[in-house]
Amino acid sequence: MSCLLAQTRANLGGIFHVPRVVGVRRAADRPECRNGRELLKVTDVKTFLVDSGSSKLWLFAKVETDSGIHGWGEAYTQLDRDRAIEIHIQELARYLDGRSPFDVKPFVYTAYTDFAGKRGSMDFYSALSALEQALWDICGKATGQPVYNLLGGAMAPRLRVYANGWGAAGPLDLLAERAAGLVERGFTAMKFDPFPGP
């Protein structure tokens, strides 16, 4: 059981289920813990621009820690803005280097007040969101909890999702075939643009 799990159980008093492991030392007794928290440190931030097959690229950020746990986040991009957003992620990495991935709120505050000068832009917020997602991903993995538990609990037992079919323009029979394939995969909704445009 990680130090954070032990501290979470103590702080939340059973609000959500945290499995008990028999024979594990208390968090305070473990040398790698301070105040019940593991001393995870961010060691690297990497970016990945991926060709989506359409007019814009996908941008992912990977945050790595010294324990081997890593987290992934995705940044919203626009055509011709993807590289600027990628540079924002790379520049924001200095605010994470050597710091705890659990300090999500202090990172967001420092990035907004120091890096952005309290004047955020689309590029900044896109980059920040990718890094924040990656930090929450690490927190979930380190605690063995779904991130929604760390953010206050699930709002619904199930969510309806749609398949994104951007760039699916073509003959109507091909579109109908693709839609039928999505229904076979279990989707009940689809978003696509049947009309090619600028």
As annotated, the residues of the chain forming the CATH 3.30.390.10 domain(s) are 41-150
| DSSP class of 57 | E
- Pick from 43, 35, 32: which is nearest to 10 by CA? 35
| Strand-pair partners of 38 | 33
pTM above 0.75, yes or no: no
Quote the pLDDT of residue 178: 82
pLDDT of residue 144: 95
What is the greatest pairwise CA distance in the chain? Answer: 67
pLDDT for 25:
37
The rounded Cα 1 to chain-centroid distance in angstroms is 23
In this structure, the strands spanning 37-38 and 190-192 are unpaired
Indicate the residue type of 150: L
First-residue to last-residue Cα distance in the chain: 54
Residue by residue, pLDDT tens for the chain (198 residues) are 445 444 444 444 444 443 333 333 344 443 345 555 557 999 999 999 999 877 789 999 999 999 999 999 999 999 889 999 999 999 999 999 999 999 999 999 999 999 999 999 999 999 999 999 999 999 999 999 999 999 999 999 988 999 876 655 567 788 788 888 889 999 999 887 766 655
CA–CA distance from 91 to each of 101, 120, 130 (Å)?
Answer: 17, 14, 13
Q: Are 124 and 114 in contact (CB under 8 A)?
A: no
pLDDT at 46: 98
Provide the pLDDT for residue 94. 97
Contact yes or no for 100/66 (Cβ under 8 A): no
Q: Tell me the CATH class for 41-150.
A: alpha beta
Q: 136 CB contacts (<8 Å, ≥6 apart)?
A: 71, 104, 147, 150, 151
User: Percent helix, strand, coil in the chain (nearest 5)?
Assistant: 40, 20, 45
Instruction: Give a three-class secondary structure readout of 155-188.
Output: CCCCCCCCEEECCCCCCHHHHHHHHHHHHHCCCC
